[in-house]
Amino acid sequence: MKTLNPQLLKNGEAIALELVDTLDFDDFRDCLLEEVRKQGRVAACFGVSAAGESSELELFALVARDRNACVAVYRTRVGERFPSLTPSCPQMHLFEREIAEQYGVVPEGHPWLKPLRFHNAWRPGVDAWGRPADQHPRSGEMEFYQVEGEGVHEVAVGPVHAGIIEPGHFRFQCYGEKVMHLEISLGYQHRGIERMLLNGPHPATMAQMETIAGDTTIGHGLAYCQVLEALSGCEVPAKAQSIRALALELERLANHVGDIGALAGDVGFLPTFSYCGRLRGDYLNLTAALCGSRFGRGLVRPGGVGFDLDPVLAGEMLARLKGIEGNTIGAMEIFFDAPSVLSRFEGRGRLSRSVAEDLGLVGVAAKACAVPRDSRFFHPTGVYRHLFDDLITEETGDAMARAKVRSREITVSIELLRRIGTSLPEGPIRAPVGPLKADALAIALVEGWRGEVVHVALTGGDGRLRRYKIVDPSFHNWSGLAMAMRDEQISDFPLCNKSFNLSYCGFDL
C-alpha cells in the first residue's frame, strides 16, 4: 500500500493542481480509508470532467485532518464505473450518490444508490439509473425503502408542509407509533448553483452565494470570498476580518436563539417561544445596523467587507447587545429550568458518538454527540486565530444535548462579539482582488451556525472556475436525522427535526 503522503493545504490556501498526484483508484481508496481510520473526515469529494477529449472523470477527495489544522488532497481517475467506497466508509455515501447523479458514473456496490436532487446528469447521454435524458426527472421519484408486515404502515410527509418551511419529503416506516425507518428525499429546491459557477466567477456569483441557504448568508458568502482570496493571493485587511467575524457570530446568535424558541414552540412551551422570536429579531437588527440587511446580504465581499464599522457604531452595538444578552439568558433559563420541558427533550432522537463519526456529522449535531467539530477551533482564520478557544461539546447526543450546545454557543458568541467589538483594528476594509491563479485548487472551511461550510474551487488554465464544490453542513447531517429517528415515536419527529434544524436548500444547492 502507498504510504500516506498527500498534498496538504490549510484553510484558505490555494495550491497548484500539478502538485497533487493522480493516484491509482486502488491507492486512492486505500489512502482515503486509512485517513478516515486515523480520525480524518471527508470534507468534500467531487468529480471533475478530465481535461481534453477524455471521457474519464477525475475524482478529488479532501480529507480534513482536524488535529493538524490541514486538509489532505487526494486525486484519482475513474471511468464509467468505480467500486464504491461507501461499504467501508459510510460518510462517502452521499458524495458518491452526488457524483453518480452529476456525471452518470456508477459507484458499484453502493448500498443505497438513489438520486439525490433529481436532475439530469451534467454529461449528455449518461444516467446512472438509466432514466430518459430528454425529460427532467421528477423529484421524489425513486424506490423508497419499505418494511412489510402485520401492523406496519407507511406515513408520507411533505413535500408540502403545514408550517412555513422548505419542501422535503419524509417517508416513515412505522409499527404503530414507533418509527422503524425514515427515508428523506430532497431536491425540490435544486437550483443548479454548482453548475452555474462553471467558467465563473460571474457578476451574479456573489449574490448567488449569499442565497445558497438564506439563513447562512454570511457563512456561505464568507467561504466563497475566502476561496477567491486564496486563489488570487489577496490579503484581507485586519479590520475586515473583524467585521466578518462579527457578522458570522451575529448570524449564529440569531439562528441559535431562533432555534431554541422554535424548539420551545414545538413542545408548546410558550414563554421561551415568544421571547426568542422577538430576540431573534433583535440580533438580526444588529446585523442590519452593520450593513442595512438583516441577513447580512452585501456585507461580505471578496477582498474584505462592503460596509465599514466606526467605533461609535461599534460601541452602540455593544450597548444594545448588553440589553439583549440579559433577555436571552433569561429566556433560556426558564426553558432549561422547566421540568416539563426537560422531560420532553431528554433522550429524544439520540445519536451515538460512533454513528456521528461514521456519518461524518458536523456542527451542532456532531458537538452534541461529543464529537469535537468546529472549524473556528481546528482551522481558524482571521480573528479566530487568537480569539476563539471555547469548543463546546455535549455528551448525550439527544435533542437536549443539541439544545444545550446551542445555548452554550450563544454565551460564547456574545463574549466573542464583545472581544471583537472592543478591539476593533483601524485601517482599510477592503483590498483589491486580482485575477485567479490558473490550474489551482483552493479550499475554505467556515463554521457557519449549523456547522462547517466547505467551499472548494478548481481553476482551469484560463484562471476561470473549472469546478466549484459547495458542501453545506446539512449535506452530512440529514443522514444523522434519519438515524436519530430509529425506534423513536413518530410524534417526536417534529421535535427531533427541529433539534437538527437543517437546511433544505443548502442541501439541494
Partner 1 sequence: MLQLFLHLLLLLGLSPLLPGVIGKTKALFAGRTGPPFLQSYYDIWKLFGKGLVISRTTTWVFRAGPVLGLVVPVLAALMVPFGSIGAPLSFTGDLIFFVYLFGLARFFTASAAMDTGSSFEGMGAAREVTFACLAEPTVFFSFIVLARLSGSLSLDAMFGQALNTAWQSAGPSLILVVACLFVVVLVENCRIPFDDPNTHLELTMIHEVMVLDHSGPDLGMILYGAAMKLFVLGALVVRLVFPGSTGNVLFDTLLFSGGMLLLAVVIGVVESTMARLRLLRVPQLLVGTLLLSFFSLILLLR
Q: Which of residues 160-199 bind partner 1 (CB under 8 A)?
A: 162-163, 177
Residue whose C-alpha cell is 461599534: 314
Q: Which is nearer to partner 1, 20 or 338 (CB)?
A: 338
Distance CA 244, CA 332 (A): 27
CB of residue 349 to partner 1, shortest distance in Å = 12
By the rule CB under 8 A, 313 interacts with partner 1 = no
Q: Which is nearer to partner 1, 124 or 339 (CB)?
A: 339
Q: Which amino acid is present at 224?
A: Y
Q: Which helix (H) or strand (E) holds 399?
A: helix 399-422
Which range, of 89-97, 149-157, 206-214, 425-433, touches partner 1 by CB under 8 A? 149-157
Q: Which is nearer to partner 1, 176 or 428 (CB)?
A: 176
Q: Which of residues 278-307 bind partner 1 (CB under 8 A)?
A: 278
The answer to whether residues 412 and 392 touch, using CB atoms and an 8 Å cutoff, is yes
Question: Residue 319 CB: number of other CB atoms within 10 A?
Answer: 9
The answer to whether residues 210 and 217 touch, using CB atoms and an 8 Å cutoff, is yes
Which range, of 120-128, 340-348, 393-401, 467-475, touches partner 1 by CB under 8 A? 340-348
By the rule CB under 8 A, 275 interacts with partner 1 = yes
**Binding residue for partner 1, selected from 338, 370, 387, 431, defined by CB under 8 A:** 338
By the rule CB under 8 A, 492 interacts with partner 1 = yes
Q: Which helix (H) or strand (E) holds 451?
A: none
CA 219 to chain centroid: 9
**Binding residue for partner 1, selected from 340, 426, 427, 432, defined by CB under 8 A:** 340
**Extended strands (E) in 94-168:** 106-108, 152-157
CA geometry: angle 313, 318, 321, nearest 5 deg? 125
Q: Which is nearer to partner 1, 468 or 493 (CB)?
A: 493
Phi/psi of residue 421, nearest 5 degrees: -65, -30
Which range, of 202-210, 247-255, 484-492, 500-508, touches partner 1 by CB under 8 A? 484-492
By the rule CB under 8 A, 101 interacts with partner 1 = no
Residue whose C-alpha cell is 429566556: 331
Size of the site for partner 1 (CB under 8 A): 32
Residue whose C-alpha cell is 424506490: 143
Which range, of 154-162, 240-248, 369-377, 463-471, touches partner 1 by CB under 8 A? 154-162
The answer to whether residues 43 and 63 touch, using CB atoms and an 8 Å cutoff, is yes
CB of residue 172 to partner 1, shortest distance in Å = 9
Q: Which three cell numbers, joined as nine digits, stand for 365? A: 449535531
Reduced to 3 states (helix: H, G, I; strand: E, B; else coil), residue 211 is coil
CB of residue 397 to partner 1, shortest distance in Å = 18
Distance CA 251, CA 219 (A): 8
DSSP state of 131: -
Question: Residue 10 CB: number of other CB atoms within 10 A?
Answer: 16
Buried b (16+ CB within 10 A) or exposed e, 466-483: bbbbbbbbbbbbbbbbbb
By the rule CB under 8 A, 491 interacts with partner 1 = yes
By the rule CB under 8 A, 395 interacts with partner 1 = no
The answer to whether residues 183 and 406 touch, using CB atoms and an 8 Å cutoff, is no
Q: Which helix (H) or strand (E) holds 337?
A: helix 311-337
By the rule CB under 8 A, 5 interacts with partner 1 = no
By the rule CB under 8 A, 110 interacts with partner 1 = no
By the rule CB under 8 A, 149 interacts with partner 1 = no
Which range, of 100-108, 152-160, 401-409, 438-446, touches partner 1 by CB under 8 A? 152-160
CB of residue 317 to partner 1, shortest distance in Å = 24
Q: Which of residues 243-272 bind partner 1 (CB under 8 A)?
A: 264, 266-271
CA geometry: angle 33, 194, 360, nearest 5 deg? 30
Cα-Cα end-to-end distance for the chain: 37
By the rule CB under 8 A, 16 interacts with partner 1 = no
x/- letters, 351..380, toward partner 1 (CB under 8 A): ------------------------------
By the rule CB under 8 A, 88 interacts with partner 1 = no
Which range, of 1-9, 16-24, 32-40, 153-161, touches partner 1 by CB under 8 A? 153-161
- DSSP codes of every residue in 104-133: --EEET-TT---SS----SSTT--TT---T
DSSP state of 405: H
**Crossing angle, helix 238-266 and helix 311-337, to 10 degrees?**
30
By the rule CB under 8 A, 493 interacts with partner 1 = yes
Radius of gyration of the chain measured on its C-alpha atoms: 22
**Binding residue for partner 1, selected from 37, 67, 153, 385, defined by CB under 8 A:** 153
By the rule CB under 8 A, 333 interacts with partner 1 = no
Q: Which is nearer to partner 1, 19 or 165 (CB)?
A: 165
Would you tell me which residues interact with partner 1 (CB under 8 A)? 153-157, 162-163, 177, 264, 266-271, 273-275, 278, 338, 340-341, 343-344, 348, 489-495
